[in-house]
Amino acid sequence: MKASYDRKTDTLSFILKEGVTVAESDEGNPGVILDYDERGDLVSMEILDASKRVTEAKKMEFQVA
């Protein structure tokens, strides 16, 4: 899994499966783009205007339990 934040576009991106072709995209909620593969599995997600939607878009913590 890969996560990145682009300050220029204020976009927060999560890549759940790399190297997979996106077959369909859907705007789950306004400003949240969900990408699916041909089997319907979620492969990535983009959050537009991220600094307005998440707490501290420039800071990220990751935890494995």
The structure tokens listed for 35 are 């990408």
**Sheet architecture: strand order including 32-36:** 2-6, 11-15, 42-47, 32-36, 24-29
pLDDT of amino acid 55: 79
Q: Global pTM? A: 0.81
pLDDT of amino acid 65: 77
Q: Which of 62, 59, 50 lies closest to 2 in space, CA to CA?
A: 62
pLDDT of amino acid 28: 81
Taking only the tens place, the pLDDT of each residue in 4-63 is 889 999 999 999 999 999 999 999 889 999 999 999 999 999 999 998 888 776 677 777
- Taking the domains of the chain in order of start, what are their residue ranges? 2-53
Contacts with 46 (C-beta within 8 Å, 6 or more apart), sequence order: 11, 12, 13, 14, 32, 33, 35
Q: Look up residue 26 and give its DSSP letter.
A: E
